[in-house]
Chain A
Amino acid sequence: MTSVDLSASSVRELNARLHALPADTNETAWRIAEPRGAHAVAAGLTVPVSVEIDGHVGYYCGGMNQAASVTINGHCGTGVAENMMSGTIRVRGNASQCAGASGHGGLLVIEGDAGPRCGISMKGVDIVVGGSVGHMSAFMAQSGTLAVCGDAGEDLGDSIYEATLYVGGGVGRLGADCVEKEMTTRHREMLSALLERAGVEADLSTFRRFGSARRLYHFHVDNADAYR
């Protein structure tokens, strides 16, 4: 276990060390203390190491992650796991806005609540939220899966493309072109597998599925009201 105390070391020094690791490194377990809300902690990782952060982090923790497993034992600021490509990022507490924004792959788990725009512009990432998500979540979500065990705020899935949304609790007004879809046995099995992978327990029977009505895929005068 390699330990780094961010009260004595800078984020730059930490990230430089993590970026310098070869693919076959023996330093596969890292523990970060005293993050004190620092931004871009463990951003841009490329090798399958485990990084555990004890405390709260600022913006973009684990940004663009590839292969690494990052756990935040605390809350996190805007854009956790933004544009992540692979690996796993787990937030034990709550996440601020834009969690998992434009993520292309991998798994983001937020055990608490997530703020607005969770999964905005997501492109293949899987996101599991143990609590609730704020408004405009999954805005322009292109692909991947967002599973929310609690409630989803207003305008869920606005202008959604091919992402799949599951919500276990209440859902506010749906966004433009987002509709409820049938929850088939196959979807329930896929959700069950995702929750199991995320290590999150939830009552599957309450979940509903949402996705794109695909009415806005082509410009048409009859769709003009959707843009107003």
Chain B
Amino acid sequence: MSVDRRTLRPSATFPDHVLAEIHRAADRGVYEIRGFGTKRHLPGFDDLLFLGASMSRYPLEGYRERCDTDVVLGDRFASRPVELAIPITVAGMSFGALGANAKEAIGRACTAMGTSSTTGDGGMTEEERRSSKTLVYQVLPSRYGMNPDDLRRADAIEIVVGQGAKPGGGGMLLGQKITERVAGMRDLPVGIDQRSACRHPDWTGPDDLAIKIRELREITDWEKPVYIKIGASRPQYDVPLAVKAGADVVVLDGMQGGTAATQDVFIEHVGIPTLPAVRRAVEALQELDMHRKVQLVVSGGIRTGADVAKALALGADAVSIGSAAMVALGCNRPVHVEDYHAIGTEPGACHHCHTGRCPVGVTTQDADLEARLDPEQGARRLRNYLTVMVLELQTIARANGKSHVLNLEPEDLVALTVEAAAMAGVPLAGTDWIPGRE
């Protein structure tokens, strides 16, 4: 009997990917753990537009008139703040999640561009310290690889309270990536499924955190800027608490932020998007009269110079990229397609960082796979990508009449949807209406 395909109406409640997940859960009895970031549609920077110059705004001439991009992070208390040539940094990604070649490539590209890279859960590798002129050292709940020598040779310290992909959750690294070197750095048995804590071992709230920050400053003789990284959930409370705890810089990671291994349910259902988080964080800083005094670095779904420009216009001082940097290195590039198939995926849909079988050698500890990423070539790609982002950013800034990218402002923006207008606090295009405001 032939099937009339017109009668096969798929369920909107149970689309294919939901059916597949229920089948998988029924077979295995363990929640899905995966990499990359949220795949659902979220209100984001694509829902905003710049107005550009007109009769009331005077544009700058592209390529001829200056549009500066430098930024200083951490001059509130630190004697040696971080000075960056561009307001685009690379976010913390662990050695373990990433291979050593990827870490080195990131360091080289960041050094060439005059910006910073960041360590991750698991500590600092020699490759990344050697290749990174400006390296931010993360202090995480797990304290894997944490040591005072690395703290002192870092250029800034980032206390990780949360991450956009999993605010309230700890780290994971599955056994296939816990090689001898990774295990040695983390003091763990080789090959175990590693779960790291979601709370720090020696402080429990903002009052304690203030004391913790003083300890870190004492150990480093008040030289290093101290960042506090939070996952976007309640930035209206978390940002003031971070400021009062003594942060020089707040890093705010929206739910579009990536991960190397996290429960899918966490990635897709916890946290708020970057767009509303930025606005609430900036409002909180302004309320304390600390906007631009405590710098705000925004991450989570930044992909283009336009995204950077929009984040800065909403009040961020800089942005950080993670997933996009990996993509520049080769993540999801349509090469070695047979190896994507071998792990059950396709280029463009791969989120299999957790398997350690990265076909392009970025998120793997396997020597053969890692050899596919040449650090020099990877650095060149990332450098090219960052260069394009900066050119795009400057193009937009000049078109809005700004001689420095930090002069972009909310008045340069409109929103395409009511939701984005409400979340970003900018008018719906073609109106003066900002939902939620008189």
Contacts and interface: CB of A to CB of B under 8 A. Distances in A.
A39 B201 contact: no
A19 B148 CA distance: 12
B231 to A, nearest CB: 21
Interface of B is mostly: loop
Interface string B176-201: 00000000001111001101010001
Contacts, number: 110
A221 interface: yes
A83 B28 CA distance: 38
Given A102-B143, A161-B189, A221 B214 contact: no
Contacts of A85: 147-148
Interface in A31-89: 39-40, 43-44, 46, 58-60, 63-64, 66, 78-79, 82-83, 85
A40 B214 contact: yes
A124 B146 CA distance: 12
Given A101-B143, A217-B192, 6 more contacts: A44-B220, A59-B215, A83-B143, A121-B197, A142-B188, A224-B30
11 contacts: A12-B218, A43-B218, A59-B208, A59-B212, A60-B211, A66-B148, A83-B147, A123-B187, A161-B187, A161-B189, A218-B175
Interface in B135-188: 142-143, 146-149, 151, 174-175, 186-188
Contact of A39 (B143, B195, B215, B222): B215
Nearest to B222: A12
Contacts of B28: 221
Contacts of B58: none
Given A40-B214, A64-B151, A221-B28, A102 B201 contact: yes
B430 interface: no
A40 B197 CA distance: 24
Looking at chain B, what size class is its interface with the partner chain?
Answer: 20 to 34
Contacts of B192: 161, 217-218
A78 B215 contact: no
B199 to A, nearest CB: 10
A118 to B, nearest CB: 11
Given A83-B148, A142-B188, A220-B30, A60 B193 contact: no
A58 B222 CA distance: 19
Contacts of A140: 197, 201
Interface in B229-257: none
Looking at chain A, what size class is its interface with the partner chain?
Answer: 35 or more
B142 to A, nearest CB: 7
Interface in A87-110: 98, 101-102, 104
Nearest to B142: A121
Given A85-B147, A85-B148, A102-B143, A15 B189 contact: no
Name which of A104, A121, A139, A221 has the most chain B CB atoms within 10 A of its CB. A121
A225 B202 CA distance: 27
B215 A43 contact: yes
Contacts of A66: 148-149
B218 A98 contact: no
The 3 tightest CB contacts between A and B, nearest first, are A221-B29, A44-B219, A102-B143
A55 to B, nearest CB: 18
Interface of A: 11-12, 15-16, 19, 39-40, 43-44, 46, 58-60, 63-64, 66, 78-79, 82-83, 85, 98, 101-102, 104, 117, 120-121, 123-124, 139-140, 142-143, 159, 161-162, 217-221, 224
Contacts of B203: 78-79
Interface in B51-88: none
Interface of B: 28-30, 33, 142-143, 146-149, 151, 174-175, 186-189, 192-193, 195, 197, 201-203, 208, 211-212, 214-215, 218-222
A124 B188 CA distance: 11
A16 B217 CA distance: 11
Contact of B218 (A15, A79, A142): A15
A127 B218 CA distance: 24
Contact of B143 (A46, A59, A121): A121
Given A78-B203, A143-B187, A219 B30 contact: yes
B218 A78 contact: no
Contacts of A162: 189
A66 B188 CA distance: 22
A121 B148 CA distance: 17
Given A16-B221, A43-B218, A78 B202 contact: yes
Nearest to A224: B29
A32 to B, nearest CB: 14
A44 B218 contact: yes
A59 B212 CA distance: 8
Nearest to A80: B202
B187 A120 contact: no
Contact of B211 (A58, A161, A219, A224): A58
B221 A19 contact: yes
A45 to B, nearest CB: 9
Contact of B147 (A12, A43, A82, A104): A104
Contacts of A15: 218, 221
Given A44-B148, A66-B148, A60 B215 contact: yes
Given A59-B215, A63-B215, A98 B201 contact: yes
Name which of A43, A85, A143 has the most chain B CB atoms within 10 A of its CB. A43
B202 A79 contact: yes
A124 B56 CA distance: 66
Contact of A142 (B151, B175, B187, B221): B187
Contacts of A224: 29-30
A89 B244 CA distance: 31
B159 to A, nearest CB: 13
A79 B211 CA distance: 11
B24 to A, nearest CB: 12
Contacts of A60: 202, 211-212, 215
A56 to B, nearest CB: 15
Contacts of A220: 30
